[in-house]
Each structure stands twice: as structure tokens, then as C-alpha cells.
Amino acid sequence: MNNYPHLSLTVNGQNIDVPDEGLTLLDVLRDHCGTTSVKDGCSPQGQCGCCTVLVDGQARVSCVTPARRVAGRKITTLEGLDQETQTAWGSALCSTGGSQCGFCTPGIIMRFTDLKNREKIDKEKAERALHAHLCRCTGWQTILEAWDTYEDTPLLPDPDKSKLRAELEGGSPQTTGINIALGKGGFSSDTAPPESLFAVLNTQNEWVVGETLTEARQKAGKIQGRRTTISPEPPLELPDGDWIETLQTTWVDPAYLEIDASWCEPNGTPSSLLANGGAFGAKKESPVQGAAQQLANQYGKPVLAQFSREDTVRFGPKRPPVAGGIDSNGKGILRVVQTPGIVDAIERFTSDIHVEEVEIMGPPTSSHVRAAGWAEVAALISAFKGEPQTITNPNGGSAYAQVTAEGITVSVRCGNPLDETTLRAYCIGAAHMAWSWVTSESLAVDQEGEIHDLTIRSFGITPASITPPITVIIEQDEGEPVNGSDAVFAAVASATWLAQGTPVQWPTKLNDVIKK
């Protein structure tokens, strides 16, 4: 057994000693202190902000902070904030819809707490501070609204109605409320039994098991990938035809923040990969649950198996790239990377576009990813008609969007709203995702199908400071409640493309319009 010297730190007012064995502060907080509010969303790349804590009162990401560098200093996590502060932030985020899955918000709360402790910090500075964070669910706007309402006594959504609406929009069982904003969403990496072993993939893509996550990663010997300098290119050629509008897209990562993780008891049922969010449809085919079950049976102990961020990029399903055109009669062809279920998904939306699947080298794709295929078809149809259209998703929700220099305006009809705060929040998140997808998001994949963009900042997600203001109009409808945010996603994507002059290739790089 190694005899390492020890480090002394003060965590939430308690003095602790840990072995000086090259641990990060995140390792110390999660493995030695059992502090689960600090989340691992980039494992570790220092790029998502989910693990932000206070070091002597100043916000710092803990995943890339060596523990020895903060020896003797005061570390504060969300659990170490006084109850009044925790409740105030949780209430503010809950009342605005600024937290959905709740994975990223503990880190954001710590960043905002640091800012609130300073003098003369305005909303604009808070917006810039969010550059250190990633949130895929909310679209930033509702988080900044929570900044504004922090010192108020906010009106909280009805918990039952909010939960039902969240489940419709997220596509899986989901919980809402103050505790979710505080990171208590029941994520697998937080709820594994204390005696669990940890399993990660090595460079040969084999599962390696250790007593701690740190030990497993050391055994795996993996070095985190980097962002490439290669320019992303659409992998599919446009079909031949007399087209009035054409569209080519690239590989896109769904970019969910909670990395695939599942734990299992021997002879048990693996924990859900979707503890409190649907991952935009991208975790339906993950191998992690099967690995957790197999390893638990092999070792006779509970095992927590989890991907690294690089693993989710390599093995997680992508939005399938497309290349298509539409003619003056509103008929067209859409070529799409071969994807199970994608033809049916598009044909449920329209029969006017013929779908051709193309088999090429590349990462896995999924028709379960939000509005895969039919959102691109909706954009082509809107471009053919020359103006934004009301778009109805195959599940019945409809939306109409306009994008101008002043921002994004979207109206949505999706049956009984149940809870307007929750519905609005999901629609704002979908609008941001659509805007970001069309204007900025892509992955560099070479002709052999290998991904070169392996960090979460490589995905091109637009930050709060350049996201347009989003206005959501909820049309009253007492019909059966259905998903509305997928229609919003498609409507905003179409309107964004139209507003930029329908350049052939996505991402459009904002206002860099490609002339045909």
C-alpha cells in the first residue's frame, strides 16, 4: 500500500485530511467528502462549470484544480452555504424555470453567490460570468431572470402540474422544484451505494474497474482529447435536382451535461441513465447500463459504470447529417446518414419529401434525437414558402417563430399548458438549442469517420451573451396536453435560417450568409 503524505483542507467548515496522491479538488470533494452537489460534466476538462466551488470565497472549477494547490484554504460547496442562501437561489431558479434537469445549476449558484458577495455586480457581468458554464436545458435567459429575482419572494410553480409538463417536454419521468435546482435530481453518479466499485473505459475501449473513480481512471491511462483545428464539413453531397432551396448539415452532438452513468447491484436492475431529464432523446441506446449489470455480477459488488465526456462524444448518438433540396412544386429529396427509424420519423411529418438513407463512415446516429430529420424538412418547406410557417410536430404540438434583429419570438400551442412557467422554460431552452444548432454547432469528423472535436467546448454551443432575447407566447388551449418544445425547436430553426437568407450549409456562422 502506498504511503502518501497528507493534505489538510477545510471543506464547509470541517477540517479534512486526504492523501496527496495527485487528486483534483473534485476528486476530494466527491470521493472523500461525499459531496454530490459538485458535478462532473466534462471529466475533467474545466469546460462545463458544473463542479464550481468557492475557494476562499472566489469561484473556481474544481475538476482541474489540484488538491495540493488549495491545501490549507477554505473550500465551500453548495452544501456549505447557509440554508437561507440555498433556499433563495433554489426558489429563484424554480420560479423562473432556470433549472430543468438540475445538473448544472449547483455550479451556477456558486458562481452567482461569488458575484452577489461583491459590490456593484450587474446583470451584464453575471451574463459574462456564465461563459464559464454550460447549460443545455434552459437557454440561459431563465437563469439570468433568476439572478434578477434572487432577492424577491418568488411565486413557485404548482409542483404536480410542473412535473407533468416537464415529463411531456423532456420525454421521460422528471421532477421539478427547489431541490432539483440544488442538484438533488437523483443522478446515478450521486446515488451509487458507498461500497460501489467504479468502471471506466480505457484506450482499448475496455471497462477498467477501481475502488475509486480516480483509481479507475488511473488504470485506464486515458488522456483527454482536444479540440481540433480541422474545419467541419457536411459529409453528404446534395442530390441532383432542379432545386429552389438546398440544405446541408454536419454532425452535431446533443451535448447533454449529465454524462452516461449507471450503477447496479449484483443480479440487480441497473439505475436509470435518465434520472431527471431525457437527454434530448440521446441516451436511449447507451451501453453503460449493460456494462454496470455485467460488471456487478462479475465482481459480486455494486458497480458504477460511467463514460467520460470523450466517450460520450465518440460513442453517443449524433444528430444525423442531411443534404436535401426542394423544388418549385414543394417536392424534394432528403439524403440522410443511415439511421434506424429516421425514414418513419420524417414520413410522419410529410410525404412530400423523399428520403434516401446513405451509409457512410462516422459516429452513431439516432432518430430519437430531438426532431431528427423532420426539423430539417420543416426548414426546407419554410424556405420554399418564403416565410416562417406554423410547424406541427408528429405528436401534435405546434409553434410559429420569427427571428429579427430584436430577438426570437415564438408562439406555441400544445394543449393544456398545465404550468406556464415550466412550459415557457422548456420553449426558451428549445429556442436556444435551435438557434445555436443552425448558427454555430458542429463536429469535425474525418473521412474515416473519426471525431476530432472531443471537448464539450468544441460543440459550438452559443453562450448567454450572444443568445438573442427569446419571447414565448403560450396560446391557450384546453385540449389534451402534448409536447410543445419540439415544435418550437423546429420553428425557431426554420425562422433562424430564413432570417439569415437560407445559406446552403449549417452551421451558418451567424451572419456569414452563403450566396447561392
- Over 70: is that where the pLDDT of 370 sits? yes
Confidence of residue 1 (pLDDT cuts 50, 70, 90): very low
Rounded to the nearest angstrom, the gap between the alpha carbon of residue 276 and the centroid of all alpha carbons in its chain is 12
Report the relative pairing of strands 74-76 and 52-55 from DSSP bridges. antiparallel
Q: CATH 3.10.20.30 residue ranges in the chain? A: 6-80
Predicted local confidence at residue 514, as pLDDT: 30
Q: CATH 1.10.150.120 residue ranges in the chain? A: 83-186
Provide the CB-side half-sphere exposure for 82 (13 A, CA): 2
Predicted local confidence at residue 226, as pLDDT: 75
What does the alpha-carbon distance between residue 506 and residue 487 come to, in Å, rounded to a whole number?
19
Give the residue-averaged pLDDT of 254-264: 96
Residue among 313, 315, 333 nearest 323 (CA)? 333
Give the residue-averaged pLDDT of 199-226: 90
This model's pTM is above 0.85: yes
Predicted local confidence at residue 49, as pLDDT: 97
Predicted local confidence at residue 399, as pLDDT: 98
Predicted local confidence at residue 223, as pLDDT: 76
Region of poorest pLDDT, from 87-101, 384-398, 499-513: 499-513
Name the CATH superfamily for 6-80: Beta-grasp domain (3.10.20.30)
What does the alpha-carbon distance between residue 282 and residue 15 come to, in Å, rounded to a whole number?
41
- Dihedral angle computed from the Cα positions of residues 271, 276, 279 and 285, in that order, rounded to the nearest 10 degrees: 20
Strands (DSSP E) along 13-95, which ranges? 14-19, 52-55, 58-61, 74-76
CATH number for 83-186: choose from 1.10.150.120, 3.20.20.70, 3.40.50.2300, 2.40.110.10.
Answer: 1.10.150.120
What does the alpha-carbon distance between residue 55 and residue 60 come to, in Å, rounded to a whole number?
7
Residues 6+ apart with CB under 8 A from 14: none
What does the alpha-carbon distance between residue 198 and residue 210 come to, in Å, rounded to a whole number?
5
- Over 90: is that where the pLDDT of 497 sits? yes
- Over 80: is that where the pLDDT of 444 sits? yes
CATH number for 322-499: choose from 2.60.40, 3.40.1350, 3.30.365, 3.30.110.
Answer: 3.30.365
Q: CATH 3.30.365 residue ranges in the chain? A: 322-499
Predicted local confidence at residue 6, as pLDDT: 85
Using an 8 Å Cβ cutoff, are 76 and 36 in contact? Answer: no
- Over 50: is that where the pLDDT of 108 sits? yes
Give the residue-averaged pLDDT of 496-513: 85
Average pLDDT score over the chain: 94
Predicted local confidence at residue 228, as pLDDT: 75
What does the alpha-carbon distance between residue 455 and residue 202 come to, in Å, rounded to a whole number?
17
Give the residue-averaged pLDDT of 25-43: 94
Give the residue-averaged pLDDT of 316-343: 97
Compute how many other C-beta atoms are within 10 angstroms of the C-beta atom of residue 73. Answer: 13
Predicted local confidence at residue 5, as pLDDT: 82
Cα 25–Cα 28–Cα 34 angle in degrees, nearest 5: 130
Give the residue-averaged pLDDT of 13-21: 91
Predicted local confidence at residue 34, as pLDDT: 93
Predicted local confidence at residue 516, as pLDDT: 27
